[in-house]
Chains A and B, each alone.
Chain A
Amino acid sequence: GQQVMQIPQYQHVQEGEDFTTYCNSSTTLSNIQWYKQRPGGHPVFLIQLVKSGEVKKQKRLTFQFGEAKKNSSLHITATQTTDVGTYFCAVGTGGFKTIFGAGTRLFVKA
């Protein structure tokens, strides 16, 4: 079945440093979503990318969808302690399923 590989598994950064997580698929994706889950919380939707090569920004967060629609990235500029959590990519498969990656857990040291 559809799988997405997400790297890295963990990332420790000093506050103010940048952070990037990557999501890769072996098949072409129709869309990709990104979610954030704070420690002890539930996943919260960040964004959905649909178009090849699409780039979207939300303040310090930049989301990219690859030209071949097989990979995506989330980049955070100048991390803050409020960015702590796990970032998941999620892809649709089979029309009704949304499959989540294993996530990248971000630790930010003040």
Chain B
Amino acid sequence: DAGVTQSPTHLIKTRGQQVTLRCSPISGHKSVSWYQQVLGQGPQFIFQYYEKEERGRGNFPDRFSARQFPNYSSELNVNALLLGDSALYLCASSLQATNTGELFFGEGSRLTVL
């Protein structure tokens, strides 16, 4: 079975641009979470979606938004990019709606903002 897949794997943007990152969860997983990982730090929670509804939001500005589709795939959008948005964006899927089970991470999308 395929694991969590994310696209694109790498991308370069300039300040002020917008970016869309995509994630397909493991088949049967209805929960998707997004994390931002800056080099040398732990993953920072951005969003969690379950059954197409936002269930949790981290301390990120409104420039960050996400949605989950009927097939449980998800998109993360970041508007008005700043240099500080350069990071590895990780998507994780899980079976549970709540934070009581294993998170399965994708390989991530590495965003560089110039």
Contact = CB atoms under 8 A, between A and B. Distances in A.
- A and B physically associate: yes
Interface stretch (B20-28, B41-49, B62-70, B78-86): B41-49
B99 A93 contact: yes
B98 interface: yes
What band does the interface of chain B fall in when counting residues whose beta carbon is under 8 Å from A?
20 to 34
A31 B43 contact: no
A98 B104 CA distance: 12
Given A96-B50, A97-B45, A97-B48, A45 B102 contact: yes
Contacts of A101: 42
A66 interface: no
B15 interface: no
A44 B105 contact: yes
Nearest to A98: B99
A96 B97 contact: yes
A88 B102 CA distance: 13
Contacts of B90: 42-43
Interface residues of A, number: 26
Given A45-B102, A96-B50, A88 B56 contact: no
A69 to B, nearest CB: 14
Interface string A35-49: 100000111110010
Interface of B: 33, 35, 41-45, 48, 50, 55-56, 58-59, 90, 92, 97-108
Interface of A: 1, 6, 30-31, 33, 35, 41-45, 48, 88, 90, 92-103
17 contacts: A33-B103, A41-B107, A42-B107, A42-B108, A43-B43, A43-B103, A43-B105, A45-B104, A92-B98, A93-B99, A95-B55, A96-B97, A97-B48, A97-B56, A97-B58, A101-B42, A102-B42
